[in-house]
Structure 1
Amino acid sequence: MKNSLIACAVQQSCNSGRERNLAYSLQQIELAAQQQADLVVLPELHLDHYFCQSEDTACFDLAQSIPGPSSFVLAEAAKTHNIVIVATIFEKRAPGLYHNTAVVFDKDGSIAGTFRKMHIPDDPGFYEKFYFTPGDLGFTPISTSIGKLGVLICWDQWYPEAARLMALAGAELLIYPTAIGWNPYDDPLEKQRQLDAWITIQRSHAVANGIPVISCNRIGFESAPDQGSGIDFWGNSFIAGPQGEIITSADHMQDTLLFATLTASRSEQVRQIWPFLRDRRIDNYADLVRRYID
């Protein structure tokens, strides 16, 4: 990793339509560049409302190829501002084959690499299995001019195996573009438990692997098209250091930019005092590839 880099997470609402959503993202990228950011992370599927609240074949019309219209615009922004951008796009790979795909644009405007969401949820309000084929690119870091980025997407953030495999493959930081929120009908205690769990699991990935984590969530209420309860996206984006320490964080109410300076030397120091990778008992982990141990 570049010995010292400035990372920026863009917490934004995404319920204004594709044209306005993209324009707002581009505006935030420009603001981040003005503050010398090297890396900008956008929320999951930031181009559109969260269409996975229902199963509707008309929503497949939102998908696009990569490269394609939105990636061309984002690539130009990366080149213009000399900045690395992580964005997620509803990818149309082939007729009837779609993915939730993170695209990493390097500072020269090239596509440094892609990651297709591996773990696909199917829960009330999050009917992603209807739309997205599970990723087939594996847990492979994306090499950029600022370092190797371990990009994962939302539901992937709950799985320690995904974070570990990225770290073992050389990822120097973990990045989670996210779209997660509350059911408005849940009581305040349940909402707090969910939020605390979400923050805790991602901080634990930083601790277990000795590398920073960037978690970038969308914000705001998005109604369900079928008159369901809708989702109140809870924001609370944050950037944590390699010991899980919160460097900067957002609230659940405001669009904002989060900035943090991350250094490779800090991760190296943490791995020296907490040598978790050294002490792994790889000779006894074979059962991890089993669904369940009877």
Structure 2
Amino acid sequence: MNKVKIGLIQASHEVHGDEPVEVHKRAAVEKHLKLVQEAASKGAQIICLQEVFYGPYFCAEQKTKWYDAAEEIPNGPTTKLFQDLARELGVVIILPIYEREGIASYYNTAAVIDADGSYLGKYRKHHIPQVAAGNNGCGFWEKYYFRPGNVGYPVFQTAFARVGVYICYDRHFPEGARLLGLNGAEIVFNPSATVAGTSEYLWKLEQPAHAVANGYYVAAINRVGYEAPWNMGEFYGQSYLVDPRGNMVAMGSRDQKEVVIGVMDKELIHEVRDVWQFYRDRRPETYGAMTDL
């Protein structure tokens, strides 16, 4: 199968942050079940949701209540629910949720579910900023909620393509993007929660560069709207699929809940890698100094 249809889901979250965690999760899961079904009805074969999809981006505040949003993977109820949905629809789902391991370890994670509903594995966000700046000078307190990822940069052979995952802030670091390519990724998904400001300029710059440097597709997903009561800034949407030449295949709107559909062409990956021999011409024996600095 050389051509694979990709579905990217960007959505708003309207539930007020003061509501209980279970209210947030119930509303968001119900919304995204419908959006995944919509994506499948449009022919999407691999579908990715936004970062920590089942609630607000709660890192805008430091409250222990949000630890209750975390679930085990794959044994938590949300993973199991979307495994059933993937099986029913025959689609691959990239499912970004808040993970709890044991009694006190929390990660920003994405589970990868194959088209038969089987759980293939997970990626944990590696790069956790101390304070990621919001548009009003405040910040997202990610280190309060997430430990750095510790499962490497795995690539998953799904029914339709070899899939890698990066999460939000990871996109600023080319090292992991290169490792995903060396591990065999044909497409890398980056589910995000990012607001207007400096990041918006970088949004359309860094990830096409990763696609070109590594000869794969990148799918970038961002939520939309404002989230009360914090109103940290506008989540500016514009989810997109970019090809290995750096061309935008599909892009969503700035402010609308929607399913963005684009087609990846595996033949283009081979064509680009044959012409731009970046893997062949790299010099790994010269890179050791990077780890000494």
Q: What TM-score results when the alignment is normalised by the length of structure 1? A: 0.91
Matching residue of 1:205:
210
Matching residue of 2:59:
52
1:284 maps to 2:283: no
For 1:39 and 1:153, locate their aligned partners in 2 and report how far apart those are by CA, in whole Å.
Answer: 17
For 1:174 and 1:64, locate their aligned partners in 2 and report how far apart those are by CA, in whole Å.
Answer: 24
For 1:76 and 1:221, locate their aligned partners in 2 and report how far apart those are by CA, in whole Å.
Answer: 31
For 2:231 and 2:139, locate their aligned partners in 1 and report how far apart those are by CA, in whole Å.
Answer: 8
Matching residue of 1:86:
94
Displacement of 1:28? 1.0
Task: Report if the CA contact (8 A) 1:116-1:137 is conserved.
Answer: yes
For 1:46 and 1:211, locate their aligned partners in 2 and report how far apart those are by CA, in whole Å.
Answer: 25
Q: Which amino acid aligns with 1:137?
A: V
Q: Which amino acid aligns with 1:84?
A: V
Displacement of 1:223? 2.6
SS in 2 for 1:150: strand
Q: What TM-score results when the alignment is normalised by the length of structure 2? A: 0.92
1:162 maps to 2:176: yes
Q: Which amino acid aligns with 2:12?
A: S
For 2:174 and 2:203, locate their aligned partners in 1 and report how far apart those are by CA, in whole Å.
Answer: 13
Q: Which amino acid aligns with 2:2?
A: N
Displacement of 1:207? 0.7
**Which deviations, in whole Å up to 9, do the C-alpha atoms of 1:150-208 show, x marking residues without a partner?**
111101111110100000111111110111113xxxxxxxx3x5312122001100010
1:61 maps to 2:68: yes
Matching residue of 1:23:
30
Task: Report if the CA contact (8 A) 1:15-1:21 is conserved.
Answer: no
Q: How does 1:114-129 map to 2 (within 5 A)?
A: 114-123=122-131, 124-129=138-143
1:241 maps to 2:243: yes
**Which deviations, in whole Å up to 9, do the C-alpha atoms of 1:37-84 show, x marking residues without a partner?**
110010001101111111111211111111211111111110110000
1:261 maps to 2:263: yes
Change over 3 Å in CA distance of 1:127–1:23 after alignment to 2:
same
Matching residue of 2:200:
195
Matching residue of 1:8:
7
Runs of 4+ in 1 over 3 A off after TM superposition: none
1:130 maps to 2:144: yes
1:142 maps to 2:150: no
SS in 1 for 2:205: helix
Task: Report if the CA contact (8 A) 1:142-1:151 is conserved.
Answer: no
For 1:122 and 1:37, locate their aligned partners in 2 and report how far apart those are by CA, in whole Å.
Answer: 36
Structure 1 unaligned blocks of 5 or more: 183-190
Matching residue of 2:135:
none
Q: How does 1:215-254 map to 2 (within 5 A)?
A: 215-224=220-229, 229-254=231-256
The count of corresponding residues between Structure 1 and Structure 2 is 278
Displacement of 1:125? 2.4
Identity of aligned residues (%): 33
Task: Report if the CA contact (8 A) 1:55-1:127 is conserved.
Answer: yes
For 1:230 and 1:223, locate their aligned partners in 2 and report how far apart those are by CA, in whole Å.
Answer: 9
Q: Which amino acid aligns with 2:240?
A: F
Structure 2 unaligned blocks of 5 or more: 16-23, 132-137
